[in-house]
Amino acid sequence: MRDSKTANDLRGLEPAAIALKLAAMRAPDAVDALDTLDHPTAVAVLEAMPFEFAVHMFDEAGLDHPHEIIALLPEGLAEAILGDISADRRVDIFRKLSEGDRQRLAKGLTEDVEKSLAQLLTYPRSTAGGMMTTEFLTLPPDMRVEDALRHIKEVAREKETIYSIYIVDPATQRLIQPISLRDLIMAEPQAPVGSIVPRREPLTVSPLADRIEVSALISKYDLLALPVIESSGRLIGIVTVDDVIDAMVDETTEDVQRFGGMESLDAPYMEISFPKMMKKRAGWLAVLFLGEMLTASAMQHYEGELEKAVVLTLFIPLIMSSGGNSGSQATSLIIRALALGEIKLRDWWRIALRELPSGLVLGSMLGSIGFVRITIWQQLGLHDYGEHWILVALTVACSLIGIVTFGSLSGSMLPFVLKRLGFDPATASAPFVATLVDVTGLIIYFSIAYAILQGTLL
C-alpha cells in the first residue's frame, strides 16, 4: 500500500537524508517509499545507503521497476547488488532487463552465479523452476546432528531458508530426504541426520510443474518449502512459501480479470499506461461484440415475426439476461471446483446430471415469476399485452425454463471444453458465457413463440 504521507515526508529532502530515513524502516516499507521517488532520485538514494540495505531493497518483490533502476546504477554497484541478492529475485530482474543491459551486467557476475542464473532463466516464470531459488541448505546423511547444527549456524546467512533442510547424496546431489530444523533440534546430538526421521518418498515437483501445482502441494501438506528435482532425482532448487503466496495473489488477480472478460493487466491499475490498458480491454470486448452480432442476425431472421408481434420484443432483454446470469453462476462454480481439484475432467457427466435439474428448477422459478408478472400487469390494467396475453405469458415462462436450463448446462460444460482443449478453464469469463447463451436464447425464445403462438399472433 503506497502511502502518500510518506511521499510528502520525503519531498525536498537530500538523497542522503532519504537514505537515512529508509534504512530505519522495514525493507517492504522502505521499498514502498522508494517507489514514490523518480528514478534518478531513487538511484541517488540507493547509492547513499549502506550496501547491505540496498541489497535488501532489490530482494523485495514489492520494488516496482528493479530492472530500470539497476540499469541506471553505477556498473560496479549494480553488479555487486546483483551478485548478492537471492537467486530467485536475480532471475526476476534479469528476465525484465533489455538484452543490452542483460549482457552488460552479467559480465560482472562470478562464474557460479552466472551458471545458476543461466539455468534458472531457462524455466518459464510461472513454473516451479521459474519460482525456485538455488540457495538451499543440504546435509550429507551421515553428518551428526550436533555437527549439522554447528554447520547451519555458519551458513545461515546465505540461505533462503534454514527451516527446510535437504539430505542429499554428496556424490550425485540426489535428494534422499527433506527434514525440518525442528526435527533436527529435537533429535539426539550424536545421531546421523539421515536417521532421525523415518524415510518415505519425498514430496517433490519437476522444474516445469505449473505454479498452481506448487501452490496446491504447499497448501495441502502445510509446507514451508517444496524441493524441485530433475528427472535424475538431483535436487536443483526449492520453492518457498512466501513466493507461493505472491504467486497465489497474482493468480487470483489474473482469474478475476479474466472472469471479468479481459486480458489480465499484469500491472497495478493506476500504474499501467492508458494505451496498454485499452489494448488489454479492447481485444476481448471486440471479440465479444463480434459474437453478439449474431444476435442481430438472429433477430433479422425473425423480423417478420417481430413485426407481427411487437409484444414479443418487450421480454427479449429479460429472457436473454436470465440465460446469461444462470450461465455465469454455473461457470463460476465449475471453474473454481476444477481449480481446487474438487472435480476432474472425467466428472463432466456427473456435473451435467446435476446442472440439468438445477436449470429446470431455477428456470421454473423464474418462469413462474414472469408468468405472474404479466398476469398482474394485464389484470390491473398496467399494460395491455393484447387478447392473447395468456399465450404470451406462457411463451415467456416456457422460454425462461428452456433458456435457464440451457444457460446452466452450457455454462457448466464450457470450462470442461476449454480444459479439454488445453486452455485455462478460467478463460470462461462471465461475458463469454453470456454471449454464447444470448444467441441460443433468442433462437429458443422464437422457436417456443412459434410453437405456442402459431395461428394466433404469428
How is the beta sheet containing 175-180 ordered, strand by strand?
137-139, 164-168, 175-180
**Cell 491499475, located at residue:** 269
Q: Report d(CA 99, CA 392) in Å as an integer.
A: 67
- Candidates 58, 136, 259, 406: give the one binding its own copies (CB under 8 A): 259
- Candidates 18, 167, 229, 333: give the one binding its own copies (CB under 8 A): 333
Q: Report d(CA 458, CA 452) in Å as an integer.
A: 9
The verdict on 21 binding its own copies (CB under 8 A) reads: no
Residue placing its CB nearer to its own copies in the complex, 16 or 286? 286
The verdict on 144 binding its own copies (CB under 8 A) reads: no
- Choose the stretch contacting its own copies; rule: CB under 8 A; options: 49-57, 90-98, 165-173, 332-340: 332-340
Q: Which three cell numbers stand for residue 17?
A: 537524508
User: Which among 41, 44, 9 has a CA at the least distance from the CA of 25?
Assistant: 9
Q: Which three cell numbers stand for residue 196?
A: 532421525
Q: Report d(CA 281, CA 238) in Å as an integer.
A: 36
Residue placing its CB nearer to its own copies in the complex, 342 or 387? 342
Residue placing its CB nearer to its own copies in the complex, 152 or 208? 152
The verdict on 284 binding its own copies (CB under 8 A) reads: yes
The interface with its own copies within residues 285-324 (CB under 8 A) comprises: 285-286, 288-290, 292-293, 295-296, 299-300, 303, 306-307, 310, 313-318, 320-322, 324
How big is the site for its own copies, counted in residues (CB under 8 A)? 112
Residue placing its CB nearer to its own copies in the complex, 208 or 337? 337
Which residues lie closer than 8 Å to 372 by C-beta, 6 or more apart? none
The verdict on 111 binding its own copies (CB under 8 A) reads: no
The verdict on 282 binding its own copies (CB under 8 A) reads: yes
The torsion defined by the Cα of 273, 277, 280 and 284, in degrees rounded to 10, comes to -160
The verdict on 35 binding its own copies (CB under 8 A) reads: no
Q: Which three cell numbers stand for residue 385?
A: 399485452
The verdict on 245 binding its own copies (CB under 8 A) reads: yes
The verdict on 115 binding its own copies (CB under 8 A) reads: no
Q: Report d(CA 56, CA 285) in Å as an integer.
A: 42
Give the CB-side neighbour count of residue 74, counting CA atoms within 13 A. 8
- Residue 281 sits at the vertex; the CA angle it makes with 276 and 285, to the nearest 5 degrees, is 150
59 contacts 81 by C-beta, under 8 angstroms: no
Residue placing its CB nearer to its own copies in the complex, 43 or 351? 351
Residue placing its CB nearer to its own copies in the complex, 208 or 277? 277
Residue placing its CB nearer to its own copies in the complex, 185 or 421? 185
The region, left, alpha or beta by phi > 0 then psi within -120 to 50, assigned to residue 120 is: alpha
Residue placing its CB nearer to its own copies in the complex, 122 or 300? 300
Residue placing its CB nearer to its own copies in the complex, 207 or 261? 261
The verdict on 101 binding its own copies (CB under 8 A) reads: no
**Cell 542483460, located at residue:** 102
- Candidates 44, 62, 106, 173: give the one binding its own copies (CB under 8 A): 62
CB of 348 to its own copies, least distance (A): 12
**Cell 423480423, located at residue:** 303
187 contacts 167 by C-beta, under 8 angstroms: no
Which residue(s) pair with 179 in the sheet?
Answer: 165
CB of 271 to its own copies, least distance (A): 8
The verdict on 152 binding its own copies (CB under 8 A) reads: yes
Residue placing its CB nearer to its own copies in the complex, 68 or 347? 347
The interface with its own copies within residues 396-455 (CB under 8 A) comprises: 404, 429-431, 434-435, 438, 442
Q: How far is CA 132 from CA 107, 140, 236, 279, in A?
A: 23, 22, 9, 32
The interface with its own copies within residues 210-239 (CB under 8 A) comprises: 215, 218-222, 224
The verdict on 186 binding its own copies (CB under 8 A) reads: yes
The interface with its own copies within residues 338-367 (CB under 8 A) comprises: 340-343, 347, 350-351, 354, 357-358, 361-362, 365-366
DSSP secondary structure code for residue 236 in this structure: E
